[in-house]
Amino acid sequence: MRKILTITLLLFSTFSYCQEKVTNNKFTLNYDVKYFKSKYYPNEERSLNVFLPENYDASKKYPVVYTLDGESLFIPLIQNISVLQDKTQEDNNIIPQCIVVSIENTNRGRDLKPNTGIDPNFPLGTFIKGTEKFYKILNEEIVPFIVKNYSTSGFNVLIGHSDSGHFVTQSYLRNDNEFDAIIALSVNDFGEYFKK
């Protein structure tokens, strides 16, 4: 399914968006919506929004930026990435063209709840049951799904905010993750969690 995001432009906006289509002071950014079911939660359907670079070419390989909390982080992310990879503006062209994938939550509390070390069965630095399952969904199912359906380079970035920022930090510390870089925004410290 193809979705089109339409945003009203501010009168004095100076941004230029790669995939913009400006009409009546509005621009649009096109992206695809894929529906995904996991073997871990077969009764749930999760939305993946996929934003491709302008003039996407399947014969080229692209890095992939994945964002958790897709329902809130996807739109600002594609707006900024569109500007940062815009080769038509001299001041832009800061990052390589990339694919952006947002993963929308089906049960955020279950999937992204941080382990604060209260339960002795889950020592600090490990995921609790729900987050461990989501970690497997992300690494074993979502990343391979994107690799199978798009032309990817193998370089993956993972973004999260708050509890999902905590999740991406923990993910990055594991040896079996699919990510080469992370961006963790406003990570909860839980009163010296990271020191411990």
Look at residue 6 and tell me if it is in a domain.
no
CA dist 125 and 115 (Å) reads: 8
Domain assignment present for 4: no
Q: Are 177 and 171 in contact (CB under 8 A)?
A: yes
| Closest alpha carbon to 23 in 37, 6, 41 | 6
Q: At what angle do helices 129-136 and 163-172 cross, to 10 degrees?
A: 70
Determine, yes or no, domain membership for 164.
yes
- Indicate whether 5 belongs to any domain: no
174 inside domain: yes
pLDDT for the residue 47? 92
Report the number of distinct structural domains present in the chain.
Answer: 1
User: Is residue 173, in this structure, part of any structural domain at all?
Assistant: yes
State the residue for tokens 């014969």: 59
**The domain spanning residue 150 has which CATH number?**
3.40.50.1820
The whole model's pTM is what? Answer: 0.81
pLDDT, one tens digit for every residue, the chain (196 residues): 434 443 333 322 333 333 444 445 455 678 889 998 999 999 999 999 999 988 899 999 999 999 999 898 998 888 888 877 776 666 666 788 899 999 999 999 999 988 877 778 887 778 889 999 999 999 999 999 999 999 999 999 999 998 988 899 888 888 888 999 999 888 766 666 666 6
Asked whether residue 12 is assigned to any structural domain, the reply reads no
Query: How far is residue 103's CA from residue 65's CA, in Å, rounded to a whole number?
Result: 11
Q: 193 in a domain, yes or no?
A: no
Comparing CA positions, the residue from 45, 35, 41 lying closest to residue 1 is: 35
* pLDDT score for 67: 95
Closest among 76, 77, 30 to 56, alpha carbons compared:
30
Per DSSP, helices labelled H in 91-162 are: 108-112, 129-136, 143-149
Q: Which domain, by its residues, includes 71?
A: 30-185
